[in-house]
Structure 1
Amino acid sequence: MLICLTANHRNASFDLLEKLSVGTSDVAKSLVAESDFVQGAVVLATCNRFEAYLDIDEPLTAGVSLAVEQAAESFSAASGTDVGELRDSLTVLCGDGVADHLFAVSSGLESVVVGEDEIAGQVKRALTTARVEGTTSSDLERLFQRASHTSRGVKTKTGLGGAGRSLARLALDLAESRVTDWARTRVLLVGTGQYARVTLANLRDRGVTDIRVFSPSGRAVAFAAKQGLEAVPAAGYRDAIATADVVITCSTAETVVLSADDLTAAVALPGAFERRLIIDLGLPRNVDPAVAGIGGTELLDLETISLHAPLDELNAESDARALVGEAAAEYRAGKAEAEVTPAVVALRSHLFDLLDAEIDRARSHGDTTETERIERALRHLVGVILHSPSVRARELAREGRADEVFAAVETLFGLGGVAATNADTARADAEPAAEAVALDDYRRAEG
């Protein structure tokens, strides 16, 4: 059973989200390794949400409660947050609601800026990290892969995010009132990751040409060479701050990269600009909030940016939510089909076993050539007979009537215990399972 623990910009403070983004990267691994019922875990941490997707082996309410409590305590201990505050800020989703939520998240429908571009990549990277750490599961794999497929469909079929909307773009939109002429603005970019590339593209869209880059991790030279920028060495960091109109931080460093001491020293340097705008896009926070108290400085951080998120583009969002709803419904139907696979397999095996027994008996008495011809015909006949009930079983599963399929197989053919194997078998992907059934039928029919 899948559950999701989500703390996001709608139900948690940015201070809490910032703390959760630090030190919790290894918690998923420990949850899977140390828990008796957590079979898989994927953690999604972005600038406005922290979510843990868990695959638990116990479908009962008690199992869900235990998994939620264990996860909350683990994340609290790793991030230094108060477990009570964390519990109050977490929303818990179970079962079908998990797919609905993740599909909406990956499509940008739950972001501060509806339709933002970065979230789809962050969802993919969360799954990749889980694979590397060995914490994913077949159910989580299927869920996240379908989420990525859904987000691509939303992007290509609707106008949502068509303008490349993102927090970086929104931040620069808000900065318009402070910048007289972007073409003459001197910008210092702190960070060299994905968000830095997005921010750089947005700056160039506005006509900014004077851009320098600094990396706390020492990657500025390679990034600058690739992007055609000027790299700032560590020794020149404060000089670069002093002579920048706009400083934008988007580093993944877990510590502050622009402190009040850095800025105080920078503004005291000869030739330092009198005024500057600092935009902090980092989570954890890249900039010490105290810099806002230094003369001539204005700080624009994520919390402030989120308060100015634009109204949704209603038509595009409506179309996108319809696509997400359809994708989630299809995902649920696929899972339901997988649930009846044990019944279909049991019925198929039962009939072909009976056929094999009759063929063996005929071989011991009849002409070999004639027996082989009849055998092929009989195998084909059984395959044809099985086709309709197999299709009908999957149709009933999509209607939520899987129990009727199990009951029918057990009642009519005496195949007891079919439903008992359902929980394990349902973890396999519905499409490969259906393909395996069809392939097996074909092989048997062909002899």
Structure 2
Amino acid sequence: MLLCVSASHKTAPFDVLEQLSAPGAENIAPLIAPSVDGVVVLSTCNRIEAYVETETADSAEVIIDAMSKAAGIDAAEFAGRYTVKTDGKAAEHLFAVAAGLESVVIGEGEIGGQVRRALTDARHQGTTTSDLERMFQRATETQKAIKNATALGRAGRSLVRLALELTDSRLADWTTQKVLLFGTGMYAAATIAALRDRGVTDITVYSSSGRGKMFGDKYGIGHVTKAGLVAAATASDILITCTNSDEPVVTPDTVAGLAKPLFVIDLGLPRNVDPATADVAGVTLLDLETIRVHAPLEELQATDAARAMVKDAAARFADVRRSRGAQPAIVALRQHAFGLLEDEIARHPESEGALRHLVGRLLHTPTTRAADYAMQGRADEVFAAIETLFGVDARPTLPEGTVQPAPVEVACPVTGAIATR
């Protein structure tokens, strides 16, 4: 079973999301992994989600408990702040997330890269499974198809660009603005591009990790060290923060002695800016919660087309996954047939070509019908048919502690004979 537990801006307030995002995926995944077959954790600025493959019905409770424990949130406080989706619905949700359909800003492009990195991180941790791999790969393929086939990507705006649009009403001329940027990651690079599109040329970067000079050289901007941070901050017109720091990188002390208006844009979650900074005279603070309130309405036509593509991709993923449900039976049938074939070839080597051709033709119809039955959710009937006709029990071994369902009678899909399973 595929399972997704999701807490996002649609289900939880930003203060709860901030706590959930603080531990990071690298701290949440290890708490979940021992109890499931595989897990991929997606952590972004407005969501934390765990996708798992499991055979245990109570895995959702394990995930919820791991999230709340890692974030230090009381279980009662976390109750109702998440959604749980299984199998096809979990895949459909991931595909929609990857396409930007579940973002604060519909169609924002950064999420696609974050989905890919979540899978890469899980690979490094050794927590993926073949089904999780396929689901995340299909999510990326769907995101790219939607981007190429609809106007969603063109209509969607990133958080960075939306934040700058919300700043427009307070600025007369972007070309005169002096900007101090905190962070050297993906959002920092997107911020530089968005600022330059508006004519900003005076950009300086600060990095608490010491990457400021390297990043500045790469993008042709200045950099400042910790010793000069306060002076650079108070001389700026705009501060933009987008770091992964668990602690605020801008505090009231950072802007101490401010002598002119300062606009502070906080794109971090957890918050990069201490909320008390907004109380400093001359400071205007724009954070993710404010951006969410001002996020534009969805572009209905583009969104409808994108959601239709998501549903279609999720349905195809589910069909393929169901068809694989009978794979052990198909493999067992082929092994049985090829075992008999090799015996006959050993006795009549001169007829090898004709025998292989005959067995191939005999296997074609049962193999095709088995896949069709599995796609209809009738894999159990395939296993029963193989056992009835050939005496081969290919059913997967049940996990320890699983209760064997009561036997029922099913019709063999090949002969119509009744078998018990």
**Residue 236 of structure 1 aligns to which amino acid in structure 2?**
G
Q: Distance in 2 between matches of 1:72 and 1:138?
A: 23
Structure 1 counterpart of 2:278: 292
1:143 CA drift (Å): 1.5
Structure 2 counterpart of 1:368: none
Matched, 1:396 2:388: no
CA shift in 2, pair 1:161/1:351, >3 Å: same
1:171 CA drift (Å): 0.6
Superposition pairs of residues 358-373 of structure 1, within 5 angstroms: 358-360=344-346, 362-363=347-348, 371-372=349-350
CA shift in 2, pair 1:422/1:146, >3 Å: farther
List per-residue Cα deviations over 1:355-405 (Å, max 9, x = no partner).
333333x44xxxxxxx42x22111111112212221222222223232332
Q: Secondary structure at the match of 1:355?
A: helix
Matched, 1:8 2:8: yes
Q: Distance in 1 between matches of 2:242 and 2:66?
A: 27
Aligned match for 2:325, one of 317, 331, 339: 339
User: Does the 8 Å contact 1:39/1:56 carry over to 2?
Assistant: yes
Matched, 1:48 2:46: yes
Task: Give the aligned CA root-mean-square deviation in angstroms.
Answer: 1.8
Q: Distance in 2 between matches of 1:123 and 1:4?
A: 14
List per-residue Cα deviations over 1:116-165 (Å, max 9, x = no partner).
10001111111111122222222221211111111111111111122561
Runs (5+) with no aligned partner, structure 2: 401-421
Superposition pairs of residues 111-130 of structure 1, within 5 angstroms: 111-130=103-122
Q: Distance in 2 between matches of 1:232 and 1:420?
A: 61
User: Does the 8 Å contact 2:107/2:155 carry over to 1?
Assistant: no
Aligned match for 1:381, one of 355, 358, 362: 358
User: Does the 8 Å contact 2:175/2:200 carry over to 1?
Assistant: yes
Q: Distance in 1 between matches of 2:257 and 2:229?
A: 9
1:422 CA drift (Å): 9.0
Structure 2 counterpart of 1:418: 394
Q: Distance in 1 between matches of 2:221 and 2:345?
A: 77
Q: Distance in 2 between matches of 1:303 and 1:287?
A: 13
Q: Secondary structure at the match of 2:204?
A: strand
1:413 CA drift (Å): 2.7
Please identify, of 22-31 and 212-221, the stretch whose mean Cα deviation from structure 2 is larger: 22-31
Structure 1 counterpart of 2:20: 20
**Residue 9 of structure 1 aligns to which amino acid in structure 2?**
H
Q: Distance in 1 between matches of 2:27 and 2:55?
A: 21
User: Does the 8 Å contact 1:238/1:266 carry over to 2?
Assistant: no
User: Does the 8 Å contact 1:6/1:50 carry over to 2?
Assistant: yes
Q: Distance in 1 between matches of 2:241 and 2:9?
A: 20
Aligned match for 1:176, one of 145, 155, 168: 168
User: Does the 8 Å contact 2:328/2:396 carry over to 1?
Assistant: no
Superposition pairs of residues 257-268 of structure 1, within 5 angstroms: 257-263=249-255, 265-267=256-258
**Residue 12 of structure 1 aligns to which amino acid in structure 2?**
A
1:211 CA drift (Å): 1.0
Aligned match for 2:314, one of 314, 328, 334: 328
1:49 CA drift (Å): 0.6
Q: Distance in 1 between matches of 2:285 and 2:94?
A: 32
Please identify, of 99-108 and 380-389, the stretch whose mean Cα deviation from structure 2 is larger: 380-389
Q: Distance in 2 between matches of 1:422 and 1:344?
A: 18
User: Does the 8 Å contact 2:233/2:239 carry over to 1?
Assistant: yes
Q: State the number of aligned residues.
A: 399
Structure 2 counterpart of 1:429: none
1:321 CA drift (Å): 0.8
Matched, 1:238 2:240: no
Q: Distance in 2 between matches of 1:312 and 1:137?
A: 34
Q: Secondary structure at the match of 2:153?
A: coil
Structure 1 counterpart of 2:409: none
Which runs of at least 4 in structure 1 moved beyond 6 Å after TM superposition? Answer: none
Matched, 1:134 2:111: no
| Identity among equivalent pairs (%) | 52
1:266 CA drift (Å): 4.0
CA shift in 2, pair 1:227/1:266, >3 Å: farther
Matched, 1:351 2:318: no
Runs (5+) with no aligned partner, structure 1: 364-370, 425-447
